[in-house]
Chain A
């Protein structure tokens, strides 16, 4: 207990909490990772503050990902990792969005690196980013239905683009039979 009472947040975290004021709804620095929780509606405002504040200057969005806390509400947690190439400090931002409306604002106008990462989160978790210039699937194909990293997606439910074939080697030796196929899309 006494250790906790003597524990002080790092200079970065103190500064972040000071500039964010009541927009920071929670924080911790467990294992040395400064983390701040915010509300989704404040995302763009908070991000701009963190990027422009002269003592923070988080100019690099290193990583952006999502977590599916199935059976909890709100269900999806978005996680942002920021880095400052001037001060070499890092910050983790977190907030949750509900299953009924899994969406939040896009950070692509602020950090170009958000572009592909937001497309990946849309692809795999189905979270929409308002204001993203072209929110399309990036890893999977357009015909894919559903979002496979959601915990309620069956892990081996493949969606082949065409029916699998079972060829015997005898068929292959007859070149006329080995040709052709039932390819749907190319």
Chain B
């Protein structure tokens, strides 16, 4: 995967950095400092590295799960986007995929899984049920998992096409690249 062009600032002479040691190093490099060194913002490089190493935790509860399996298996292959390996421990994952209907009995479990994930973390709600409760309006279904945890990307459909799920991953990568990152 090529470097994101936003990471690179190749044009223009070396600007004073304000750091005397770094300025001296740039002076000693003989003018081709920017051919040897990429300069960028920490945010951008963190975003760039994080967006291509998404480890997903599939919280699969209902029929959408079949579609999720089709999307993550090799025919559609989420690995092309750097979201390859489902981790079945929330500690090792940073993308929570809520796939399917969430019931009120299940809500504390979903909340706990989300709380156990380490920062930074993102949530994708896959399918009409996870987005809004879908066609369920009754005593037992949560009307959308964003009533319990924050959601970054909503994927419509009952169930969504695999392409829609891939599109959601690309959308999430855009969001990760452009958001503010803390160096935790």
* A positions within 8 Å CB-CB of B: 140-141, 148, 153-162, 164-169, 171-173, 175, 178-179, 181, 183, 185-186
Contacts and interface: CB of A to CB of B under 8 A. Distances in A.
What is the predominant secondary structure among interface residues of chain B facing chain A? Answer: loop
Given A156-B138, A175-B119, A175-B184, A186 B148 contact: no
A171 B149 CA distance: 11
B38 interface: no
What is the predominant secondary structure among interface residues of chain A facing chain B? Answer: loop
Interface in B78-125: 104-105, 107-108, 111-112, 115, 119-120
B180 interface: yes
Given A157-B139, A175-B120, A166 B115 contact: no
Given A156-B138, A167-B149, 4 more contacts: A158-B138, A159-B104, A161-B108, A162-B107
A186 B140 contact: no
Interface residues of B, number: 26
Nearest to A146: B139
Interface in B118-174: 119-120, 137-142, 146-152
Given A155-B139, A157-B139, A175-B184, A169 B105 contact: no
B182 interface: yes
Interface of B: 104-105, 107-108, 111-112, 115, 119-120, 137-142, 146-152, 179-180, 182, 184
Nearest to A137: B105
A161 B107 contact: yes
Q: Which of A155, A156, A166, A171 is most buried by chain B, counting CB atoms within 10 A of its CB? A: A156
